[in-house]
Homo-oligomer: A and B are copies of this chain.
């Protein structure tokens, strides 16, 4: 990309992938009724998003917030051009997801041994072996697979994870035929220089893989990281409606990068996200009633930059008095 080209989108296409209905809602204490989840996904489908992570086929006792995965996935209205994906932790989840006509299975493991053990209770090699079976199942069923690698930009317990180690896991999944890899900044440790370097290196090494970048705004660097990734050639981003999500390692801090904030910024910058921003903001404004609390995203509160405010009361008199001086 030419010098400073990143600041001027010039109509370049960016694919926006919504994770709020999974990464967001799974954190919520209040159970969002199934019909409201379906209505929310349907509203999101109509906005022009490239992909929606609808739910997670996890054990209902592990994540009760998403215990209605089958019903939601089956009853949403499918729009042509939108990929309906779901998180799948294991073989049982894959079977449930495939039965529910999920377009793509999103598998997950961490590139940090400590984080993988703490979160998934398996060593990374064990996770990989289990996921390789899931990949085979999906391939046999002709269902697409994406693998989300956690802690690519750092582990909250180990610290930095060496790029070689990250890339070793990418290679292993590429070797078994996985075409889509999401590089996840699980706890908001990514910073722009690191993102620019790592994304550039990954794209050079695997020109045939489809990379998604998944950032959290935990330390306020979310949008800056999106732009650094674009500068390095990335064009697919996970984001969460209203900025829902968050991270157990940073209580009180922001969650995933906010879908409507990213779309708002990228559209202003001349990128083509294909997303109807007004419809996306309208969907975000439905969230507080659904989840019972305020959302971190700013656009739902502040409006778009040219959503103008009325003149203050008595403005005419103020002007007259001023000009009479």
Residues of B within 8 A of A253 (CB): 298, 301-302
Q: Which of A79-87, A141-149, A308-316 contacts B (4 or more CB under 8 A)?
A: A308-316
CB of A156 within 8 A of chain B?
Answer: yes
Give residues 266-291 of A contacting B (CB, 8 Å).
268-270
- A191 vs chain B, min Cβ distance (A): 4
B322 touches A191 (CB 8 A): no
B4 touches A196 (CB 8 A): yes
B308 touches A114 (CB 8 A): no
A325 touches B126 (CB 8 A): yes
B117 touches A305 (CB 8 A): no
- Given A193-B7, A268-B191, A302-B250, residue A118 in contact with residue B312 (CB < 8 A): yes
Residues of B within 8 A of A121 (CB): 318, 321-322
- Please count how many residues in chain A sit with their CB below 8 Å of the partner chain's CB atoms: 76
- A45 vs chain B, min Cβ distance (A): 24
Contact with B along A215-254 (1 / 0, CB 8 A): 0011111111001100110000000000000000111111
Contact with B along A31-46 (1 / 0, CB 8 A): 0000000000000000
Residues of B within 8 A of A227 (CB): 192, 224, 227
Contact with B along A186-199 (1 / 0, CB 8 A): 00110111101000
CB of A299 within 8 A of chain B?
Answer: yes
Residues of B within 8 A of A4 (CB): 1, 3, 6, 196, 231-232
A322 touches B123 (CB 8 A): yes
CB of A264 within 8 A of chain B?
Answer: yes
B309 touches A249 (CB 8 A): yes
Residues of B within 8 A of A9 (CB): 193
- Given A7-B192, A302-B218, residue A157 in contact with residue B264 (CB < 8 A): no
CB of A8 within 8 A of chain B?
Answer: yes
CB of A138 within 8 A of chain B?
Answer: no
Closest chain B residue, CB of each to CB of A113 = B319
- Given A3-B1, A227-B227, residue A220 in contact with residue B156 (CB < 8 A): no
CB of A122 within 8 A of chain B?
Answer: yes
- A86 vs chain B, min Cβ distance (A): 25
Closest chain B residue, CB of each to CB of A218 = B302
CB of A2 within 8 A of chain B?
Answer: yes
Contact with B along A1-38 (1 / 0, CB 8 A): 11111111100000000000000000000000000000
Give residues 141-188 of A contacting B (CB, 8 Å).
154, 156-160, 188
12 CB contacts below 8 A, A to B, read: A3-B5, A7-B193, A7-B228, A122-B325, A126-B325, A159-B308, A192-B227, A194-B268, A218-B302, A219-B298, A220-B223, A221-B261
Report the 5 A-B pairs with minimum CB-CB distance, sorted nearest first: A250-B302, A220-B261, A253-B302, A191-B268, A7-B196
